């Protein structure tokens, strides 16, 4: 019984590890794939709050007692307007930015005017030409 | 159901039996005990930013985070902070080997919980640390180099068997090699990486920092030259792959370990990788042959120099490679390797230092010196001749 259990554990760990390494080639978050220093890509983003009356307010301006740089402090997202290296690759970085937009939209209850957050992202994948794309948070129903 | 039960072919049963034998073979856990002691500081260093936040009254939930799964338990702040401090205590206990199994399991559980609280917590060095802690949890690595063992001796109880089934050690070796292999392979298949674009752009963008280093102008020019990176990138990729493969064979293992240490020191000097360098270098101890006291160091106790060398070995032989035995007065320092090779004098000093974890990296290149190689070959020939003389049927 012990022999079989040992065999199962070892084979499971090996297969799982190899699977996670393979998954790293298509997943945004490359957990246990160990792809170190994958890209030299850089990015920057203009992030705005789009209010219910259509105004586009940069997140560099505090709102309703909130500050972007206090709400988002990790993964190189604190100052998105500054061009940064995408430490773990561009896909990973933009997945984090998209999640951060959603988190801020969902966790700013005193804000009664923002309908959604929007990031206009300029990215440079290694030596490729720059690319511009727009990311948006979910729509906030509480916006007046 | 095992292979025999389903009537598998004899060769399949043979492979299966060999595999089981490999996993169940009892080997020394000394390397894992040493790694356990070294892993504690890595845990403390990696917890430092989380603890620093808690001291400022913040936790991960006060800013952007992204749970992996909605069902994953989020603890009240006070409990979470308490867990982090419990991990600190457990890491210290793990390192010194006090209630070792419990301490290691606690450290592993809390570190793993914390890692999977948010996608933003994930970094390769933390993942590697969780793997190392997990495998140390299932291996009985507290029977040596531990307060537990000392307390046991003090109470007059017999020491526990320091050997155990090898499978956690083999798994950790697999993980260690897989990390270098995965990293190297991801770069090998990426034309931008293998062609040098990635490293060249990274260096060019960091030119300001490069110029702040005490480097001559020609070196800065070379490092920022596109052509240099066409070759350098390939060297980096092949280095990672060499480490991944070279660790598995005895003939290349020492070279792979030496290269790996140099590689990590170079990374540590040029990038911010948290505890990765320290942890990766510490993990290299698991590639030592898992048997202990199978080499003999003979010293003349009347010679002060040899006595001092003997003391150095006793202090630095963390992997328990050597038995130190007295030699007759007037003898030269002598080392007998596990294959019976006997070497003496300066060669023996170089060889001995190459087998101690703290001095190995500095001493290993000395083994390539022609004089040292000749002396080791001579020692081996002596063994062969002696064996042949004792066994008339053996071939010369």
Structure tokens at B207: 């030119």
Does A52 map to a domain?
Answer: yes
Does B15 map to a domain?
Answer: no
Verify whether the Cβ–Cβ distance A71 to B64 is below 8 Å.
Answer: yes
Does B99 map to a domain?
Answer: yes
* Nearest alpha-carbon partner for B335 in B287, B301, B294: B294
Verify whether the Cβ–Cβ distance A38 to B175 is below 8 Å.
Answer: no
- Find tokens 């338990």 and name the residue: B73
Contact residues on chain A for B20, CB-CB shorter than 8 A: 3, 6-7
Asked if B149 and B35 sit in the same domain, the reply is yes
Does B19 map to a domain?
Answer: no
Q: Is B358 helix (H, G, I), strand (E, B) or coil?
A: coil
How many domains would you assign to chain A? 2
Asked if B249 and B198 sit in the same domain, the reply is yes
Asked if A100 and A29 sit in the same domain, the reply is no
CB atoms within 10 A of CB A70: 13
Q: Residue B311 sits in a domain of what CATH number? A: 3.40.30
Q: Is A132 helix (H, G, I), strand (E, B) or coil?
A: strand
Is the pLDDT at B4 greater than 90, yes or no?
no
pLDDT in tens, B253-295: 999 999 999 999 999 988 888 899 999 999 999 999 999 999 9
pLDDT number for residue B381? 60
Say how far apart CA B192 and CA B234 lie, in whole Å.
11
How many domains would you assign to chain B? 3
Does A68 map to a domain?
Answer: yes
Residues 150-179 of B with CB under 8 A from A: 165, 167, 170-171, 174-175, 178-179
Contact yes or no for B351/B367 (Cβ under 8 A): yes
Residues 28-57 of A with CB under 8 A from B: 29, 31-40, 42
Does B363 map to a domain?
Answer: yes
Contact residues on chain B for A100, CB-CB shorter than 8 A: 64
Asked if A126 and A94 sit in the same domain, the reply is yes
Does A83 map to a domain?
Answer: yes
Contact residues on chain A for B197, CB-CB shorter than 8 A: 40, 126-127
Asked if B336 and B363 sit in the same domain, the reply is yes
Does B175 map to a domain?
Answer: no
- Find tokens 């390769």 and name the residue: B124
**Mean pLDDT of the B15-38 span:** 94
Asked if B343 and B370 sit in the same domain, the reply is yes
Does B334 map to a domain?
Answer: yes
pLDDT number for residue B303? 92
Q: How far is CA B388 from the centre of its chain?
A: 38
From first to last of the 144 residues of chain A, give the pLDDT tens digit.
788 999 999 999 999 999 999 999 999 999 999 999 999 999 999 999 999 999 999 999 999 999 999 999 988 999 999 999 999 999 999 999 999 999 999 999 999 999 999 999 999 999 999 999 999 999 998 766
Instruction: Please provide residue B98's backbone torsions phi and psi, each rounded to the nearest 5 degrees.
Output: -105, 125
DSSP A66: B
Q: Is A124 helix (H, G, I), strand (E, B) or coil?
A: strand
Does A71 map to a domain?
Answer: yes
Structural domain for A6, as ranges: 1-34
Does B362 map to a domain?
Answer: yes
Does A143 map to a domain?
Answer: no
Q: Which of B3, B21, B25, B63 to mutate to test the interface with A (most CBs of A within 10 A)?
A: B63
pLDDT in tens, B305-329: 899 989 999 999 999 999 999 999 9
Say how far apart CA B174 and CA B317 lie, in whole Å.
25
pLDDT number for residue B396? 30
Asked if A26 and A97 sit in the same domain, the reply is no
* Nearest alpha-carbon partner for A20 in B117, B122, B248: B122
Asked if B151 and B77 sit in the same domain, the reply is yes
Judge whether B248 is closer than 8 Å to chain A, CB to CB.
no
Q: Is B136 helix (H, G, I), strand (E, B) or coil?
A: helix
pLDDT number for residue B60? 95
**Mean pLDDT of the B135-147 span:** 96
- Please count the CA atoms within 13 angstroms of the CA of B198 that sit on its side-chain side: 25
Query: pLDDT confidence of B7, banded at 50, 70, 90?
Result: low
Asked if B36 and B72 sit in the same domain, the reply is yes
* Nearest alpha-carbon partner for B259 in B285, B228, B281, B289: B281
Asked if B64 and B157 sit in the same domain, the reply is yes
Contact yes or no for B168/B139 (Cβ under 8 A): yes
Q: What is the DSSP string of B194-249?
A: HTTHHHHHHHHHTHHHHHHSS--HHHHHHHT-HHHHHHHHHHHHHHHHHHHHHTTS
Q: Which residue of A has its CA nearest to B170?
A: A10
Asked if B157 and B38 sit in the same domain, the reply is yes
Structural domain for B145, as ranges: 26-164
Q: How far is CA A12 from the centre of its chain?
A: 31
Instruction: Please provide residue B273's backbone torsions phi and psi, each rounded to the nearest 5 degrees.
Output: -125, 25
Asked if A93 and A73 sit in the same domain, the reply is yes
Does B11 map to a domain?
Answer: no
pLDDT number for residue B9? 75
Structure tokens at B175: 């993980």
pLDDT in tens, B346-390: 888 899 899 999 999 999 999 888 888 887 777 666 554 444 444
Asked if A10 and A65 sit in the same domain, the reply is no
Verify whether the Cβ–Cβ distance B171 to A21 is below 8 Å.
Answer: no
Asked if A6 and A71 sit in the same domain, the reply is no
């Amino acid at each position: 019984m012990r022999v079989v259990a040992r065999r199962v554990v070892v084979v499971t760990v090996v297969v799982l590890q190899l699977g996670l390494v393979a998954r790293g080639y298509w997943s945004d978050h490359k957990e246990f794939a160990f792809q170190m220093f994958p890209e030299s890509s850089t990015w920057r983003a203009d992030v705005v709050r789009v209010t219910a009356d259509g105004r586009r307010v940069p997140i560099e301006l505090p709102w309703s007692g909130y500050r972007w740089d206090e709400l988002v402090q990790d993964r190189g997202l604190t100052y998105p307007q500054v061009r940064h290296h995408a430490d773990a690759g561009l896909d990973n970085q933009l997945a984090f930015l998209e999640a951060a937009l959603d988190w801020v939209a969902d966790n700013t209850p005193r804000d009664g005017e923002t309908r959604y957050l929007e990031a206009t992202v300029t990215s440079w994948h290694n030596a490729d030409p720059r690319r511009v794309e727009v990311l948006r948070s979910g729509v906030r129903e509480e916006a007046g | 159901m095992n292979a025999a039960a389903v009537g598998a072919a004899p060769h399949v049963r043979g492979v299966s039996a060999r595999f089981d034998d490999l996993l169940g073979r009892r080997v020394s856990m000394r390397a894992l005990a040493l790694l356990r002691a070294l892993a504690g500081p890595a845990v403390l260093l990696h917890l430092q930013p989380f603890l620093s936040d808690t001291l400022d009254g913040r936790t991960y939930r006060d800013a952007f985070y992204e749970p992996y799964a909605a069902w994953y338990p989020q603890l009240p702040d006070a409990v979470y902070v308490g867990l982090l401090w419990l991990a600190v205590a457990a890491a210290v206990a793990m390192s010194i080997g006090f209630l070792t199994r419990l301490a290691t399991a606690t450290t592993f559980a809390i570190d793993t919980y914390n890692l999977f609280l948010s996608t933003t917590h994930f970094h390769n060095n933390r993942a590697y640390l969780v793997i190392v802690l997990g495998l140390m949890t299932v291996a009985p690595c507290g029977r040596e180099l531990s307060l537990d063992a000392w307390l046991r001796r003090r109470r007059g109880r017999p020491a526990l068997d320091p050997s155990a089934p090898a499978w956690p050690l083999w798994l950790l070796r697999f993980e260690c090699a897989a990390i270098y292999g995965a990293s190297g392979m991801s770069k090998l298949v990426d034309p931008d990486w293998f062609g040098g674009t990635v490293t060249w752009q990274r260096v060019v963008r960091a030119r300001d920092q490069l110029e702040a280093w005490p480097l001559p102008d020609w070196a800065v020019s070379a490092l920022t030259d596109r052509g240099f990176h066409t070759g350098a990138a390939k060297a980096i990729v092949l280095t990672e792959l060499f480490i991944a493969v070279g660790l598995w064979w005895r003939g290349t293992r020492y070279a792979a370990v030496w290269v790996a240490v140099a590689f990590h020191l170079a990374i540590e000097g040029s990038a911010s990788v948290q505890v990765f360098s320290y942890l990766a270098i510490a993990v290299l101890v698991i590639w030592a042959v898992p048997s202990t006291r199978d080499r003999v160091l003979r010293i003349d106790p009347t010679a002060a120099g040899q006595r001092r060398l003997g003391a150095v070995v006793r202090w630095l032989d963390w992997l328990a490679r050597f038995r130190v035995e007295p030699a007759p007065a007037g003898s030269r320092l002598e080392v007998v390797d596990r294959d019976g090779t006997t070497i003496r004098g300066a060669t023996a000093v170089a060889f001995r230092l190459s087998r101690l974890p703290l001095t190995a990296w500095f001493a290993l290149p000395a083994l390539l010196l022609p004089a040292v190689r000749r002396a080791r070959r001579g020692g081996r020939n002596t063994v062969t001749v002696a064996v042949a003389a004792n066994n008339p049927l053996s071939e010369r």
